[in-house]
Structure 1
Amino acid sequence: MSGFTLGVAILGGLVLVIVVAWNAWNARRLRPRQPAIEERREPGATPEPVEPSFDPDDTPLPMPERKPGLDALIDVLAPIPVESPVSGEAAIAALPATRRAGSKPFAVEGCNEGTQHWETPQPGQRYTAFQAGVQMANRTGALNEIEYSEFVVKTQAFADAVNGAPEFPEMLHEVARARELDQFAGDHDAQLGFTLRARNSAWSPGYVHQNAARLGFVAGVIPGRMVLPSGTQGQPPILVLSFDTQAALADDPAQSAIREVTLSLDVPQVHRAEQPFQRMRDAAAALAESMDGALTDDNGQVIQAEGLDVIGADLEGLYDTLESRDLAAGSPQARRLFS
Structure 2
Amino acid sequence: MSEFTAGLAVLGGLILAGLVGYNAWTTRRNAPRQPVMAAPGTGPAGEGERSEPLFEPDLTAPPAVEKRPGLDALLDALAPLNVEASVAGELAVAALPTTRRAGSKPFAIEGFNEATQHWETPRAGQRYSRFQAGVQLANRNGALNEIEYSEFVMKAQGFADAVNASPEFPEMLDAVAHARELDQFASAHDAQLSITLRARGAAWSPGFVHQAAQRLGFVAGAIPGRMVLPAQAQGGPPVLGLAFSSQAALSDDPAQSAIREVTLSLDVPQVPRTEQPFVRMRDAAIALAASMDGLITDDNQQVIRAESLDAIGADLEQLYDALEARDIAAGSPQARRLFS
Q: TM-score range by the shorter chain?
A: over 0.9
Cα 1:13–1:52 shift into 2, 3 Å? closer
Q: Which secondary structure does the structure 2 equivalent of 1:298 belong to?
A: coil
Q: Name the structure 2 match of 1:51.
A: 46
For the residues of structure 2 that align with 1:49 and 1:233, how far apart are their CA atoms? 24
Q: Name the structure 2 match of 1:130.
A: 131
Count of residue pairs brought into register by the alignment: 334
For the residues of structure 2 that align with 1:57 and 1:127, how far apart are their CA atoms? 45
For the residues of structure 2 that align with 1:67 and 1:135, how far apart are their CA atoms? 14
Counting only pairs closer than 5 Å after superposition, residues 203-214 of structure 1 correspond to structure 2 as 203-214=204-215
For the residues of structure 2 that align with 1:180 and 1:335, how far apart are their CA atoms? 18
Counterpart contact for 1:39–1:50, Cα < 8 Å: no
Q: Cα distance, 1:39 vs. partner?
A: 2.1
Q: Which secondary structure does the structure 2 equivalent of 1:165 belong to?
A: strand
Q: Name the structure 1 match of 2:91.
A: 90
The amino acid that maps onto 1:2 is S
Cα 1:232–1:55 shift into 2, 3 Å? farther
Residues 246-278 of structure 1: CA deviation (Å, up to 9, x unaligned): 111112222211110000000000000000000
The amino acid that maps onto 1:107 is A
Counterpart contact for 1:192–1:266, Cα < 8 Å: yes
Q: TM-score scaled by structure 1?
A: 0.94
Higher deviation after alignment, 218-227 or 56-65? 56-65
Higher deviation after alignment, 130-139 or 2-11? 2-11
Q: Name the structure 1 match of 2:60.
A: none
Counterpart contact for 1:109–1:132, Cα < 8 Å: yes
Higher deviation after alignment, 54-63 or 216-225? 54-63
For the residues of structure 1 that align with 2:233 and 2:82, how far apart are their CA atoms? 37
Check if 1:159 corresponds to 2:160. Answer: yes
Check if 1:226 corresponds to 2:227. Answer: yes
Q: Cα distance, 1:86 vs. partner?
A: 1.6
Counting only pairs closer than 5 Å after superposition, residues 52-131 of structure 1 correspond to structure 2 as 57-60=52-55, 64=64, 65-131=66-132
Check if 1:197 corresponds to 2:192. Answer: no
Cα 1:157–1:55 shift into 2, 3 Å? farther
Q: Cα distance, 1:165 vs. partner?
A: 1.0
Counterpart contact for 2:55–2:222, Cα < 8 Å: no
For the residues of structure 1 that align with 2:12 and 2:261, how far apart are their CA atoms? 41
For the residues of structure 2 that align with 1:60 and 1:223, how far apart are their CA atoms? 12
Counterpart contact for 2:114–2:127, Cα < 8 Å: yes
For the residues of structure 1 that align with 2:51 and 2:145, how far apart are their CA atoms? 40
Counting only pairs closer than 5 Å after superposition, residues 308-327 of structure 1 correspond to structure 2 as 308-327=309-328
Counterpart contact for 1:39–1:49, Cα < 8 Å: no
Q: Cα distance, 1:60 vs. partner?
A: 4.8
For the residues of structure 2 that align with 1:175 and 1:165, how far apart are their CA atoms? 22
Q: Cα distance, 1:61 vs. partner?
A: 5.1
Q: Cα distance, 1:80 vs. partner?
A: 0.6
Higher deviation after alignment, 202-211 or 263-272? 202-211
Runs of 4+ more than 6 Å apart: none
For the residues of structure 2 that align with 1:56 and 1:183, how far apart are their CA atoms? 45
Q: Name the structure 1 match of 2:5.
A: 5
| TM-align CA RMSD | 1.8
Q: Which secondary structure does the structure 2 equivalent of 1:38 belong to?
A: coil
Q: Which secondary structure does the structure 2 equivalent of 1:69 belong to?
A: coil
Q: Which secondary structure does the structure 2 equivalent of 1:39 belong to?
A: coil
Q: Name the structure 2 match of 1:44.
A: none
Q: TM-score scaled by structure 2?
A: 0.94
For the residues of structure 2 that align with 1:292 and 1:89, how far apart are their CA atoms? 62
Q: Name the structure 2 match of 1:180.
A: 181
For the residues of structure 2 that align with 1:52 and 1:31, how far apart are their CA atoms? 14
The amino acid that maps onto 2:261 is E
Gaps in structure 1 of 5+ consecutive residues: 42-46
Gaps in structure 2 of 5+ consecutive residues: 58-62
Cα 1:238–1:55 shift into 2, 3 Å? farther
Q: Which secondary structure does the structure 1 equivalent of 2:111 belong to?
A: strand
Q: Cα distance, 1:232 vs. partner?
A: 2.5
Q: Cα distance, 1:30 vs. partner?
A: 1.6
For the residues of structure 2 that align with 1:162 and 1:200, how far apart are their CA atoms? 68
Q: Name the structure 2 match of 1:35.
A: 35
Cα 1:141–1:334 shift into 2, 3 Å? same
Residues 286-320 of structure 1: CA deviation (Å, up to 9, x unaligned): 11111111110001011101101110110000100
For the residues of structure 1 that align with 2:206 and 2:124, how far apart are their CA atoms? 46
Q: Which secondary structure does the structure 2 equivalent of 1:212 belong to?
A: helix
For the residues of structure 1 that align with 2:49 and 2:226, how far apart are their CA atoms? 11
